[in-house]
Structure 1
Amino acid sequence: MSSPALEAGASGKVTDFNNGTYLVSFTLFWEGQVSLSLLLIHPSEGVSALWRARNQGYDRVIFTGQFANGTSQVNTDCALVLNSSAELCQYLDAQDQEAFYCVRPQYMPCAALTHMHSKNKDVSYLSKQEKSLFERSNVGVEIMENFNVISVSKCNKETVPVKEKCKPGMTSTVPSGHVWKNTWNPASCNLATVEMNKCLRGKSVYLLGDSTVRQWMEHFKRSIRTLKSVDMHESGKLQHQLAVDLDRNINIQWQKHGYPLIGSITYSVKEIEYIARAIDRIGGEKNTVIVISLGQHFRPFPIDVFIRRVLNVHKAVQRLLLRSPDTMVIIKAENIREMHNDVERFSDFHGYIQYLAIKDIFQDLNVGLIDAWDITIAYGTNNVHPPEHVVRNQVNIFLNYIC
């Protein structure tokens, strides 16, 4: 639902009656000229084909590991599962039994692995007939053409109940809010205007995960002039990032999550670790904030890889909150992404299943949820890296949670 002139938008709620009929309902959040748009992203045959294909194999993305021994370098194949008769290096997280493998190069130890990059492999588990379901013209089809713009006005003079300030642990509604004048407004609580410099004073912020939370890091660096980047002596976008403000005692760092980490640019794996281990290293206290963002890099792999990872992160958060209940932990859900790009590997259907799973797994813990899924639908971004104003609104919820 949107009103472009008012820079307003919101998602609808779909109820499936499990008999071939659906109810789509919209909450009329604002007054004015409102247009409704109903998109059929995939038909049910497409969804079942994607689900079957997703869980069929691990080789849609091929990883190349770079081993270094003095001045010589060797590249070999790496993966979550490697069907190879060659001798393998196993990179095992002993505590959670998460493993990643590389073909062992001749005359080099497994410890010599230094860098990694990946590329999409020309492999598909969809039949020719199924592939036709994912041609550009069949994805995101508008199924409510010629729907007239409706005019929304207030029906009564009743006073609107005062909503409490947004805080972690609140039950999220569907839809969780709406965009108005390009600003996100949650449905069940109020966002205050929080001054970033004051809010972050004395805080250590750990941003753990993918590039959608690295966008937050970039936003902080742009917004806080006194924040200075610390050179970690690595190159590339997937390097560990640290920024500090010594006067205000602000410490913000972004760290990539462990394998699988998809990137065509070569990145260092010397310091790579799973999020659960990073959380176990953090002492935590009332001025420590941890943001976790997982999902986009898991879409091309069977769902059990993602669920196992999230369960292990959940256990690490549980341990953290036991030893340090004052630590603030926030889960940033996935953004929706480009609709027609590489559907078998990256469809938002895969992301939606993961979004439901992560919400379900963390519902028993006192953590904050930033519903980036619903926010990016309301903004209609369809971009894995949404524009700056969307990132700013995600960060604003974060600031409301911690201050």
Structure 2
Amino acid sequence: MTVRQVKVTVKMCLGYRKCIFIVLTLFGLIFFQHNISNVESWKNHLVSALYKVQNRIQPSNLSETHQAFHHKRTPYCPHLAQPLSPEEELEERNLLDFIAWPQPPFGSEAPNLSQTSDPVHSHFTIVNAKNWSVGDQLEVHVQLRDFKGRPKRYGGDLLLARLHSLKDRAGVAGQVLDHRNGLYSARFPLLWEGSAQVDVVMVHSSEAVAVLQRLREKRPDRVYFSSIFGQGNHSEKMVCNMCLPPDQGPLCNFTDLHTGDPWYCYKPKMLSCDTRNNYVLEGSLENIINSKEELLFQSGVNLKVPIHASTSNAIIVLPSRKGDSTQKLDHAKVATSGYYYQDIWRSLGGVTKRQFDGASITQCLTNKLVYMYGDSTMRQWYEYLVTVIPGIKEFNQEGGVKVGPFMAIDLTHNILLKFRFHGPPIVTRTTLMAHKLRYIANELDGLTGGPDTVVALSVWAHFAPFPVEVYHHRLWQIRKAVVRLLDRAPGTVVVVRTPNPRAQDRDLSLKFSDWFSLQLDTVLRAMFEGLDVLLVDAWQMCVAHHQPHDVHPPRAIVMNMVDVMLSHVCRDRTKKTE
């Protein structure tokens, strides 16, 4: 439809009120056709980043843009998958584009070990050795080589980098850039005076990452669960999961009616579906990779192994030439949320982090309700607060020893702390009562909220074995619930803890690799972008610290995380933050 055609239509319609609608529609079609040609320009932007408020773009427009995206949706468990809204489908495709990982140039079969990345033959070099000062940026070049010492010609390896000082108990995470030709760069802001050392670790070779990606997409059944169905003296144990093959018997559908989060069990032979009593991790599949692939996951050989410097890994940092440069850093370039000095995390940008002891925590949380939801990494926050707040008392809620729910109250200062685990999947051997399983989005919808309500969330560790689409759907529902909470109760404080790296061995990494966690970290940050939510950067706080990586970080790191949250909760709202 051209502008000339529209003018002709206008002349034909003069005098008729109903033609106003037709004219507006035709102009809308011209505008839409013009904008379709520009779809590629925002291909790699996430819908969650585009939407500062939910559903500002009409679903009809979104559905027309699907052809522009590289990824076609292949839903997890397609025979049971519920249809997505156009917004959710578009966002999912953008997320898949956003976290796409470089693929090695070989087919489905892994190459011989000799052709894969070897951290011993690889090395890194500090670029342009000079007199560095606080406020400068340090750059390191890393060359990956194979087991025969030959330079790699493609990227996709997972590297972690850190600049640290044991003397000053200081550390900062590096930003690693993959040049996709076997070369990598790591950049560090220089934030303290004195000596410092660079550490670079190869977590996985690119060939190992290819195996992990296949397992995530093709074998999400590598962990499975069960429930006991019982009535009277009769009971039956049945296999359960978010997806079950349809050809092995009828299913009991426990998909949540409000969030659409899926959960199924095979139906007992003699009992009805409503006799389900509990939930537990039943086990994990063995022998899911072949002997050649097993060689890619060897502790001390090519699994979370240091890469050494070609010469020296040490530098000396002089005082700043321009005053306090830590306040003038270009955060967009250094991608650094903070650093440690004397084992205390110093946040960069945003609210200034304070240190809290028991008395100041009590003062901060007086007359406040603190609701903590998620996994055991959020339970750590609850446990820390219970140990440091004087006079707080725990009350038994008949929950599991590890999964709760838990509650603690300080009656004198009117402080309430509550912790509840997220809904399945929960990868734990602890047996849970089925009626105790709750989804975070539903719990948030039940909160009154307001300035005296704090909500802290951590959802990641138990989703590592499953396709990204599963995690996206869970966060999609949580995010919508957060938006509803903030809309009806402005002033509610919402804090989200990001994933963190953990200890790795072969068996653990096949289900809970740091690569899985890093992908979830990227998705989570994108999902909450644009909302009035504080992200506590657990990833950088663990990478930068001198303690070994652990799914449950040590108390020193947990203390700093909680201090970041409390600094946000009890910030001076009369001042503008940077």
Q: Distance in 2 between matches of 1:285 and 1:392?
A: 26
Deviates more, 1:260-269 or 1:249-258: 260-269
1:385 corresponds to which letter in structure 2?
H
Pairwise CA RMSD: 2.1
Q: Which of 451, 456, 472 is matched with 1:307 structurally?
A: 472
Change (3 A) 1:73 1:163: farther
CA offset at residue 329 of structure 1?
0.9
1:17 Cα offset (Å): 2.8
Structure 2 matches for 1:325-340, cutoff 5 A? 325-340=490-505
**Superposed counterparts of 1:120-159, under 5 Å:** 120-123=283-286, 125-136=288-299, 137-145=301-309, 147-159=311-323
What letter corresponds to residue 383 of structure 1 in structure 2? D
2:540 equivalent among 368, 374, 377: 374
Partner of 1:269: 434
- Deviation, 1:71, is 4.9
Matched, 1:187 2:354: no
In terms of mean alpha carbon deviation, does 275-284 or 103-112 score higher? 103-112
**Contiguous gaps of at least 5 residues in structure 2:** 1-162, 571-578
Q: CA deviation at 1:295?
A: 0.7
SS in 2 for 1:144: strand
User: Is 1:101 equivalent to 2:268 in the alignment?
Assistant: no
Residues 71-92 of structure 1, C-alpha deviation per residue, up to 9 Å, x if partnerless?
A: 5443211111112532221102
Cα-to-partner distance string for 1:95-135 (whole Å, 9 max, x where unaligned):
23221011222333322222221144224543432221111
Any conservation in 1 of the 2:224–2:240 contact (CA below 8 Å)?
yes
Q: Is the 8 A contact 2:193 2:319 kept in 1?
A: no
The answer (yes or no) to whether the contact 2:196–2:317 under 8 Å persists in 1 is no
For residues 149 and 82 of structure 1, the distance between their equivalents in structure 2, rounded to whole angstroms, comes to: 51
Distance 2:550 2:484 in 1: 35
Q: Write the mapping of 1:59-138 to structure 2, written as runs, cut at 5 A.
A: 59-83=221-245, 84-123=247-286, 125-136=288-299, 137-138=301-302
| Cα distance, 1:15–1:91 mapped onto 2, change above 3 Å | same
How far off its partner does 1:234 sit? 3.2
Report the AA paired with residue 348 of structure 1.
D
Provide the rounded CA distance (Å) in 2 between the counterparts of 1:176 and 1:295: 20
Specify the code of the residue in structure 1 equivalent to 2:549: N
Which runs of structure 2 are paired with 1:227-266 in the superposition (5 Å)? 227-266=392-431
- Secondary structure of the 2:425 match is coil
Aligned to 1:346: 512
Map of 1:396 onto structure 2:
563
| Residue 20 (structure 1) shift | 3.5
Structure 2 distance, partners of 1:139, 1:229, is: 41
Provide the TM-score with structure 2 as the length reference: 0.66
Q: What is the CA deviation profile of residues 281-312 of structure 1, one whole-angstrom value per residue up to 9, with x for unaligned ones?
A: 11111111111101110001111111111111
Q: Give the counterpart of 1:361 among 505, 527, 538.
A: 527
The amino acid of 1:47's aligned partner reads V
8 Å contact from structure 1 (residues 30, 152) kept in 2: no
In our comparison, the structure showing a higher alpha carbon Rg is 2
Q: Give the residue type in structure 1 aligned to 2:488.
A: R
Counterparts of 1:29 and 1:260 in 2: how far apart (Å)? 41
Q: Is residue 228–residue 277 contact of structure 2 (8 Å, CA) maintained in 1?
A: yes
Long gaps (5+) in structure 1 = 165-169
Q: Does the Cα contact within 8 Å between 1:236 and 1:267 map onto a contact in 2?
A: no
2:171 maps to 9
Secondary structure in 2 aligned to 1:375?
helix
How much has 1:161 moved relative to structure 2?
6.0
SS in structure 1 opposite 2:295?
A: helix
Q: Is the 8 A contact 1:57 1:302 kept in 2?
A: no
SS in 2 for 1:205: strand
2:361 aligns to what? 196
Distance 1:183 1:156, change over 3 A: closer
Q: What is the percent sequence identity of the aligned residues? A: 29
C-alpha displacement at 1:252, in angstroms?
Answer: 0.7
Q: In 2, distance between residues paired with 1:291 and 1:377?
A: 22
Encode CA deviations 1:3-37: one digit per residue, 9 max, x unaligned: 11222221111122334422111222222221111
CA distance in 1, matches of 2:194, 2:433: 52
Do the aligned partners of 1:63 and 1:116 also contact (CA within 8 Å) in 2? Answer: yes
